[in-house]
Structure 1
């Protein structure tokens, strides 16, 4: 930069010399040079870019290094360390231990070998929303990995003492849980804000992963399909629809071959009936999915509008 400035000054002096006078004195040339140099040196410095202002174009970008310069190995190590700070072991947790009673005894033929992740251990010092907030990073990890690892479901456990007293209390808790998860949806869909929850076509989703939601609670009796098999806690089971495809489950149908089960769906329905826990089979497959998330506690009762 200094060399360039010197060359420019020299050119200017030569221009002045041949333009103004051939007999220019050395003293005048010296004074002229000092003037030009002073203009350059004493000029007002350029304004600094304040990094804390909202107009800062460098915000969020590393100074002096590009993300392209960071090796894949370093990125992987950073991701692992961050993940370890905000997640937990979803296979060895209280939710999985407590849910085992349902998983091992239900009539669903897929349940026993299902690969399930669970929510973090319940903290009585936190609100319901606080406990759910803690497990959402692991739920997001589950959504990304379920098609790769063949995962089948994510189970959220709630304290039965506080939320499993009756259908109304449980229904409000389920709404709060799903609303909390929905509000943290990275895809920004926030499906629980949809005013059409009670209509056909609505489905619970998180990070663009659509899920079938099933719930279990201690107040359901042994002749109910949502019986908790003695567990004193409540459970919300999130099953990605991709899981059904992985098990090659046939499409839903209102038709059931009760005498000679032909399909997996037939076998499941017959199994629940034979165990004394039959569930309602509608005469159509076009009905609001929300109606099956929290079922009424008495057979034949009207649908429980938990979402209101």
Structure 2
């Protein structure tokens, strides 16, 4: 008699267990659908543009994934990146060295991430509350620092990630695409091949069990927020390469978009399960949906409705998967 452990899993069970499969299938279906319903979606220039549009949110989502894997959440990630763009642009416009401005902006992002992580671990407050408060503080700080103005960026270094090359003479790629791919691969390696990554998953699954097994839970969580801050600083650089203008009102929904990408990528909001490669696919799904629906003439408000429905479905599937595996 075949036991439950020996039984070959059904297609549905395989998709639930292999978290990256579902998002990848959803991406393929979305691309196929829009290629059939619009004339220009599969155009090489359009596909390149879709990837470029996903870069900033995708980079923010990478940092968000690390935090969510520890059963946390970061509502301040986009506001941290916006503040970093303003620091970089304003320092460069004021006659400062562009390399110094770039590094200082990233350092500020890392410092804010460290503060959030320190409050979460030191005072044992819920990450939602801490990062909600940090979101309010950083958003206000960015507007005060900008004095209600936006700052154009003309320095080659700050806009370097927007530089373009052409593969096979026609496919447009940017340096930002290469950097984003490298970051996702490094994060994947760190999470799957190092002790730090195993500790991150263990803390997200059960912090008390992780502590009893000898893992420094607080240190691990703090390190995740610090690394996430570094990623948000790079997202700021990505943003200046994408649009050479630092605006205090930019990416107002960036935190929600990054969470959407993480959830659509198969990472559990309850911590301990998911992958950064799934998040990369999730960010592409968001960009593909917006591009395809726009080309199909769908109002942006209805696009938000469709995205919201997808998020709810993704969370419901995750909860169902957890129930089946319990």
Q: Which TM class, normalised by the smaller chain length?
A: under 0.3
Structure with the bigger percentage of helix: 2
Larger Rg: 1
TM-score, normalisation: structure 1: 0.27
TM-score, normalisation: structure 2: 0.26
The higher-RCO structure (CA 8 Å, 6+ apart) is: 2
